[in-house]
Amino acid sequence: MDDGIILIDKPAGMTSFGVVARVRRVLSEKAGKKVKVGHTGTLDPFATGLMILVIGKECRNAETYSKLDKVYEATFTLGQTSTTGDPEGDLTEISSREPTRDEIEKTLDGFRGEIMQRPPIFSAIKIAGKRAYKLARDGQEVEIPERNVTIHSLELLDYTYPELRIRTHVSSGTYIRSLGVDIGGALGTGAYCSTLQRESIQKWSLTEAKKLSEFGIKD
């Protein structure tokens, strides 16, 4: 393909840039020339699910795709916090208190609709031209301002302490790791996002996506 999009089911343990690099290499080898490939929204290495890759001239429209609503399924582990908000950070025990399901439901109510959210310091957001996660890894203090995001829906799928599983439809710019941290804070237990899967981006679904193995790429 010369121009257009490819839907990819990203595996866990791979960066979004790693996915792009591997697909670019395969497409370039097949085309006998360098093919331009980009992505339209970073998924954390531990996360899985739908990525829209833009190919060729469609790369100029990458920002349009990145601004679309998204649906995620996630697991938040209560009782601990993580320096990165996910399983890859240093974990700290916070509380052994087990909230009731009713407490969980009432807390989730406070996160539906428009909310203010502070993105995690370990993120790809640029601060003075540098990625926030690079500054954080260098031990520098990182201050990211809060932003207004919209949680269109937030559904409790399952709750068996310490794991709280949710599905949420969110606006562009929403960080599910931050959502988990904030929910844990509101519960007084602490929390981090232990699993994360992007199920859809606007009209595109994970069920339509190709696995990297279909391109001859090993996870």
User: Where residue 145 falls among pLDDT bands split at 50, 70, 90?
Assistant: confident
Specify the pLDDT at position 15: 93
Specify the pLDDT at position 218: 78
pLDDT 10s digits, 14-36: 999 999 999 999 999 999 999 99
pLDDT 10s digits, 25-82: 999 999 999 999 999 988 999 999 999 999 999 999 999 999 999 999 999 999 999 9
Average pLDDT for 149-153: 98
Query: Quick one: which H or E segment has residue 44?
Result: none
* pTM > 0.85: yes or no: yes
Cα(200)–Cα(185) distance, integer angstroms = 27
Tell me which of 206 and 135 has the higher pLDDT. Answer: 206
Specify the pLDDT at position 127: 61
Q: In this structure, which amino acid lies at residue 130?
A: K
Residue 202 DSSP symbol? T
- What is the DSSP secondary-structure string of 119-170? PPSSSS-EETTEEHHHHHHTT-------EEEEEEEEEEEEEETTEEEEEEEE
Residue intervals of the chain classified under CATH 3.30.2350.10 are 4-67+202-215, 70-201
Q: Is there a contact between 163 and 77 (Cβ–Cβ < 8 Å)?
A: yes
Average pLDDT for 186-195: 98
Fold entry, domain 70-201: Pseudouridine synthase (3.30.2350)
Cα(164)–Cα(123) distance, integer angstroms = 23
- Range with the poorest average pLDDT among 3-12, 46-55, 71-80, 112-121: 112-121
Which residue in 75, 74, 80 sits closest to 97, CA to CA? 80
Judging by DSSP bridges, how do beta strands 4-10 and 210-211 pair with one another? Answer: parallel
Specify the pLDDT at position 203: 97
Average pLDDT in the chain:
91
Phi (first) and psi of residue 110, to 5 degrees: -75, -5
User: Where residue 195 falls among pLDDT bands split at 50, 70, 90?
Assistant: very high
**CATH code of the domain made up of 4-67+202-215:** 3.30.2350.10
Specify the pLDDT at position 51: 98
Active site residues: 44
User: Where residue 120 falls among pLDDT bands split at 50, 70, 90?
Assistant: confident
Is 209 in a helix, a strand, or coil?
Answer: coil
pLDDT 10s digits, 174-185: 999 999 999 999
